[in-house]
Chain A
């Protein structure tokens, strides 16, 4: 199932914070940071279980993360990925000459993946090295 015309926001969560201080290359970090939180009603439209990997696509890239229902809803039409290497595959890198990338507000679409898995941090970043 696919959802279009969503807006992607990124930011901090307490779990992401604990994970990154406990070890950025650990599985705990993947579970805390490689996720996308959906509004409860938006999630129903995806017709999948919580934790199913989904592919997020923006004008700037795509990434596969675990899906979850947001504790901070309702926010229909808005999806949230914690700041980190997964979010950074899809954020807008343009700074418009102010120095800071535009990490929030990207137009996004989401689909449930049939193939592909969530990579851990080092595997994900390794792809940037090989290019």
Chain B
């Protein structure tokens, strides 16, 4: 199923209706008539998208694949609450892509705006460009954010990624973020998330981390004074069992939260 953006919206277009779950078992005509929201007005999906292909009415969400082409940098909320199937976006994407996803895969061949993969509870989000702030973060006022699933960003991300992320050993849930560089407050209020950065990171990494693992394979601009050096290691065993090889300096923190903590920050030696 292919969607081509016909015209770039001047004010943001909210397209939370474009998900595999919503397209499941719907005819082409039903999809064309779905509602998109632009400012305080409603537009039909076909006003902004040319739709190609047949929607497989096989009732199995994992067979659904939606390919979306165009400059979608002003289109928000695609893939919201998705539970299976695949969405491939060929272009930049607006805010909230893949938010509250519990399964399936979204690939963005471009840059993503704020809140990519916010509140993720499963599935995979892959961004082959940069992402802005709040990647995999909790929405305002929530004390639990990303609880499972994987986010991979090839390029750099902005600030406050993985805000309030929380793992669950008992339920075997290991939220994990890979990125090529990060801004400030990486992993703020982290409760068990794993973050692996293949590049440099700005200030305040691991701020208020209660437990979790942050691995920086580049430079950290400035370490927080509430992190303490433990020593050097030759490999890191992640909470989910994976092993990362390499020489790293190990720090414990954030000691603003606890005197003794399992939280760890590793910086390449």
What separation, in Å, do the CA atoms of A21 and B183 have in the docked complex?
40
Interface size of A by Cβ–Cβ distance < 8 Å? 2
Q: In this complex, what residue of A is CB-closest to B114?
A: A97
When distances are taken between beta carbons in the complex, the residues of chain A under 8 Å from B134 are 97
Q: Tally inter-chain residue pairs, CB-CB below 8 A.
A: 11
When distances are taken between beta carbons in the complex, the residues of chain A under 8 Å from B160 are 97
Q: Decide if B158 is an interface residue (CB 8 Å cutoff).
A: yes
In terms of DSSP, what is the predominant structure of the interface of chain A?
loop
Q: Decide if B20 is an interface residue (CB 8 Å cutoff).
A: no
What separation, in Å, do the CA atoms of A96 and B134 have in the docked complex?
10
Q: In this complex, what residue of A is CB-closest to B95?
A: A97
Q: In this complex, what residue of B is CB-closest to A97?
A: B133
What separation, in Å, do the CA atoms of A41 and B158 have in the docked complex?
38
Min Cβ gap B124→A in Å is: 24
When distances are taken between beta carbons in the complex, the residues of chain B under 8 Å from A96 are 133, 158-159, 183
Q: Decide if B132 is an interface residue (CB 8 Å cutoff).
A: yes
When distances are taken between beta carbons in the complex, the residues of chain A under 8 Å from B158 are 96-97
Known: A96-B133, A97-B114. 4 other contacts (CB 8 A): A96-B158, A97-B132, A97-B158, A97-B159
Closest 10 CB pairs of A and B: A97-B133, A97-B114, A96-B159, A96-B133, A97-B134, A97-B132, A96-B158, A97-B159, A97-B158, A97-B160
Residues of A within 8 A of B (CB): 96-97
- In the assembled complex, 11 residue pairs joining A and B whose CB atoms fall closer than 8 Å, in A order, are A96-B133, A96-B158, A96-B159, A96-B183, A97-B114, A97-B132, A97-B133, A97-B134, A97-B158, A97-B159, A97-B160
